[in-house]
Amino acid sequence: MVSLGCCLSDQHLITSVLFFCRLRLKCSTSLFAHWTQFRKVQDRPYQRAGPLSYYIASGNLDNAFHIDQLSGELSIKKPLDYENIEKYVLWIEARDQGFPPYSAYEKVEIAVLDVNDNHPTFEQEPFHAEILENLSPQRVLIVSAFDQDSGPNGQLEYAIIEGNQENSFSINRATGEIRTTRPLDREKGFNGKIFYFIRSQTEHFRINSSSGEIFIKHVKVASSLTADTNKVYLLEITASNDDGLFSINSQTGVLSLAKPLDYETKQKHELRVSATDGGWIAKTSYVTVNVLVTDVNDNPPVFDPVEYFPVVQENVPSGTTVVKMNATDKDSGPNALMAYVIQSSDSDLFIIDPNTGIITTQGFLDYEAKQVYHLTVKAFNVPDEERCSFAYVNIQLRGANEYVPRFVSKQYYFEVSEAASKGTVVGEVFASDRDLGEDGIVYYLIFGRSKKRSFSINKKTGQIYVTGPLDREKEEKISLKVLAKNKGSIRGADIDEVLVNITILDANDPPVFTQELYDVQVNEGLSPGGLVTFVNAEDSDSVPSWSRFTYAITANYEKSTFTINPQTGQVSVASELDRESVPVYNLTILAVDSGSPAATGSAILIVTLEDINDNGPTLETTSGEVMENQRAGTPVITLRSSDPDLAPNQGPFSYSLVSTGAASSYFTLSPTGELTTSREIDREQISDFYLSVIIKDSGIPQMSSTGTVHIKINDQNDNPSESRSVEIYVHYFGNMFPGGSLGFSFFMPFVLERYIQGAEKERTQLKFMLDHLYVQ
């Protein structure tokens, strides 16, 4: 007897313990066993929950179990069958009598243990086989059987019990394969039955057995001209096996799987099988085989979607539905049974129905205390809890508008320069609201005549900014009325007001350039001191010190390249320019007045350098090769070059050979860079050439450079070999040598390689060695 205690604490929590039980049951119709009990714990005196009631919430497959609602006693209601269901996972609900009632759920796992209660059964009765006489021992056929029991109870053993005259046959105890033990003689008269049996055996239970019979027909061996045309020797699947899921033994006819089957993809396969005999004119017969796929629990429940974002109003009654979880299982029947459970949570204010997946509240929700709750929900198969998946529930509370916004100050005082541009922020007002979420968002408005005073307010942040021109000489002080409210229409008492006082200050305006962007092009050959351009700025301030200004270039790497006259704004070159290093300069020009603090205006000057032909081309092709003894005009290589200048100061390039040295007499170079031989070349005389090449670009003025090209001459086998003498020394220690082979010689690889690659004029002595000496 196993007991489970449940109690209701003063915080409305019910605690429980997980049970896992194993039952070894011989399932008879009269069996009724009490095996576990839930024991109630008396409520504490100050609790009002009352007695607990017990229910089976889910997992009671085939209605196999019963629980007493008052005592919590769990009992077996009907016989259990291991071959039908191996494991039960029950979810037990303990519910109190309070209002609203509170519940706790606990999982009870019941594993049913197998007993040997099924007889093994042959897959067909009887088996038939034919065999030729006078054949050497061989396989006749395989008998097959099955047992619905599992483990040791389902292990089968085969044996021949009758009809095995002269022990002509043997059977494999484990596989059921029947073989002949010697050649058979049809004339000796055996042409009948063999009786066999199978049994299942365990260590602790009785042995079950079954028997069957095989009809074995002897076929007389005939000559090749009178062969038995009725013997089937070839079977094959001829249609409906496009996926290659099945294969058939062409001799035995055993149909087997070639690939795994998937019940969820296809539940029935219809195959067309042909059988062809061995007659002089072969005959073929066909049969349709229907293979029905049975489902197994190979798919876990899957949530769709895997993440939920329900929204719940605060202060809703306990038991309010939050969201319904949705999980599906591709399996069918009992394999698709599932249950739900909250795997983890940051609050105990939510529960889930294990059968429907509906999440409801228990207790009261306060938006100001917490706005978001995170739950992890698990969906699993019953009883195979290992096949499961998880979903994530993010519950967002929606608050109620319980409070009115209030400004933190009674009045605000700000200052702003009359030179402030549109969008300049003057200051910020702030009102607080004790509500959270959307109900706590405060919106700001400028109302009444204040809306026409060159200012506006960001309705969300409360920032007051300039929207029109300001003139201190006309109006030095401005007062604005600002209102704070919640979202929606104004109802009267749900707003707050404040007065904002703004003082307009006089300002030093910065100089203004006549152009915001200057874009000029200059030649990269412009010498230091050369004029780039003039920039111009103006300052209309009335104060003399505010209207005087000087020009400058911002301190960056371009300052060393360009200079500016601080009085006139003339921009000049300060150092050498090179377009190939820096093609474009981006300068920031400043105009700084004499005010305190100084006001500064700025403009952008883009200086683009124009290309001149100041770089010679570079030879990129530096090596090539050609075979010796080729006729004049043989192509060797096409030269390639590059030039960092821009077109038209780049290519096309022209090429020529420097006519110095003997090397130039062997080759010809066209102006376009094609190098060819001018006569035959002998590698044994010259194996490498180094040619000096002149390259010219197409610019004005034209630039040129020189480069060197290495030409390697490849060898041909054009010289005959020379005879050489070889000395072999044999040392013999022993009696008289009657004659015979002494061994064999071979070239040492490194010596042979040296000889082949060396020049013919170099005399290299080949060495020999003896190995594997023997005497005949």
pLDDT at 274 over 50: yes
User: Quick one: pLDDT at residue 206?
Assistant: 43
Which pLDDT band, with edges at 50, 70 and 90, does 605 fall under?
very high
Which pLDDT band, with edges at 50, 70 and 90, does 199 fall under?
low
Residue-by-residue DSSP string for 544-575: HHHH-EEEEE-SSGGGGTEEE-TTT-EEEE-S
Please state, in angstroms and rounded to a whole number, the distance separating the CA atoms of residues 127 and 215: 6
Which pLDDT band, with edges at 50, 70 and 90, does 213 fall under?
low
pLDDT tens-digit series, residues 681-700: 888 888 898 888 888 888 78
Token look-up 């096996």 returns 241
Q: Which of 428, 415, 414, 425 is nearest to 507 (CA)?
A: 415
CB 174 within 8 A of CB 157: yes
pLDDT at 116 over 50: yes
What is the per-residue burial (b if ≥16 Cβ within 10 Å, else e) of 50-89? eebbbebbbbbbeebbebeeeebbbebeebbbbeebebbb
User: Quick one: pLDDT at residue 490?
Assistant: 66
- Tokens read off for 369: 């205390």
Q: pLDDT above 70 covers what percent of the chain?
A: 77
pLDDT at 203 over 50: no
User: Quick one: pLDDT at residue 43?
Assistant: 41
Please state, in angstroms and rounded to a whole number, the distance separating the CA atoms of residues 642 and 649: 11
- Tokens read off for 746: 């071979």
| Bridge partners of residue 571, in order along the sequence | 533, 564
Please state, in angstroms and rounded to a whole number, the distance separating the CA atoms of residues 709 and 711: 6
Residue-by-residue DSSP string for 169-215: EEE-TTT-EEEESS---GGGT--SEEEEEEEE--SSSPPEEEEEEEE
User: Quick one: pLDDT at residue 13?
Assistant: 39
- Tokens read off for 182: 């010697």
User: Quick one: pLDDT at residue 749?
Assistant: 46
Please state, in angstroms and rounded to a whole number, the distance separating the CA atoms of residues 460 and 437: 14
Please state, in angstroms and rounded to a whole number, the distance separating the CA atoms of residues 504 and 277: 113
Tell me the pairing of strands 600-610 and 517-523. Answer: parallel
Q: Which of 434-448, 564-578, 654-668 has the highest mean pLDDT?
A: 564-578
DSSP-H helix ranges across 52-159? none
User: Quick one: pLDDT at residue 10?
Assistant: 38
Residue 346, number of CB atoms within 10 A of its CB = 12
Lowest mean pLDDT among 46-50, 153-157, 437-441: 46-50
In the DSSP assignment, the letter for residue 279 is S
Cα→Cα distances 146→124, 150, 275, Å: 11, 10, 27
Mean pLDDT of 606-611: 86
- When comparing pLDDT for 304 and 756, which is higher? 304
CB 563 within 8 A of CB 551: no
Q: Which of 356, 322, 319 is nearest to 341 (CA)?
A: 356
Lowest mean pLDDT among 32-41, 99-108, 379-388: 32-41
Q: pLDDT above 90 covers what percent of the chain?
A: 22
pLDDT at 34 over 80: no
CB 499 within 8 A of CB 412: yes
pLDDT tens-digit series, residues 304-317: 999 999 999 888 89
- Domains defined for the chain, CATH in brackets: 2-113 (2.60.40.60), 225-294 (2.60.40.60), 302-398 (2.60.40.60), 431-505 (2.60.40.60), 512-610 (2.60.40.60), 618-714 (2.60.40.60), 724-776 (no CATH)
- When comparing pLDDT for 134 and 111, which is higher? 111
Contacts of 345 (CB under 8 A, 6+ apart): 373, 374, 375, 376
Backbone angles phi, psi at 301, to 5 degrees: -60, 145
| Bridge partners of residue 34, in order along the sequence | 75
User: Quick one: pLDDT at residue 6?
Assistant: 41
pLDDT at 237 over 70: no
Q: In what order do the strands lie in the sheet with 600-610?
A: 517-523, 600-610, 584-593, 549-553
Q: Which of 52, 36, 51 is nearest to 105 (CA)?
A: 52
Q: What is the pTM of this model?
A: 0.33
Mean pLDDT of 472-483: 86
What is the distance, to the nearest Å, from the Cα of residue 55 to the centroid of all Cα atoms in its chain? 45
pLDDT tens-digit series, residues 289-298: 888 887 777 8
In the DSSP assignment, the letter for residue 449 is G
What is the per-residue burial (b if ≥16 Cβ within 10 Å, else e) of 243-263? eebbebeeeeeeeeeeeebeb
pLDDT tens-digit series, residues 570-599: 999 988 888 888 888 999 999 998 888 888
Please state, in angstroms and rounded to a whole number, the distance separating the CA atoms of residues 673 and 665: 17
CB 730 within 8 A of CB 739: no
Q: Which of 24-28, 199-203, 534-538 has the highest mean pLDDT?
A: 534-538
3-state secondary structure of 151: helix
User: Quick one: pLDDT at residue 389?
Assistant: 92
Contacts of 125 (CB under 8 A, 6+ apart): 212, 213
Q: Which of 664, 661, 656, 658 is nearest to 639 (CA)?
A: 656
Which pLDDT band, with edges at 50, 70 and 90, does 230 fall under?
low
Which pLDDT band, with edges at 50, 70 and 90, does 39 fall under?
very low
Angle CA 81–84–85, to nearest 5: 85
Contacts of 674 (CB under 8 A, 6+ apart): 635, 638, 639
pLDDT at 535 over 90: yes
Which pLDDT band, with edges at 50, 70 and 90, does 518 fall under?
very high
Which pLDDT band, with edges at 50, 70 and 90, does 49 fall under?
low
Please state, in angstroms and rounded to a whole number, the distance separating the CA atoms of residues 65 and 79: 10
CB 175 within 8 A of CB 142: yes
Please state, in angstroms and rounded to a whole number, the distance separating the CA atoms of residues 198 and 201: 10
Mean pLDDT of 276-284: 75
- CA dihedral sign of residues 663, 668, 670, 676: negative
Query: ω into residue 597 within 30 of 0, thus cis?
Result: yes
Token look-up 């030039």 returns 643
pLDDT tens-digit series, residues 320-375: 999 999 999 888 878 888 899 999 888 889 999 999 999 999 988 888 788 899 99
pLDDT at 281 over 60: yes
Average pLDDT, whole number, for the chain?
78
- Tokens read off for 188: 């000796």
Cα→Cα distances 440→464, 481, 498, 710, 738, Å: 21, 22, 19, 83, 120
- When comparing pLDDT for 120 and 482, which is higher? 482
Tell me the pairing of strands 284-292 and 688-696. Answer: unpaired
Q: Which of 420, 423, 440, 424 is nearest to 432 (CA)?
A: 440
| Bridge partners of residue 711, in order along the sequence | 624, 689
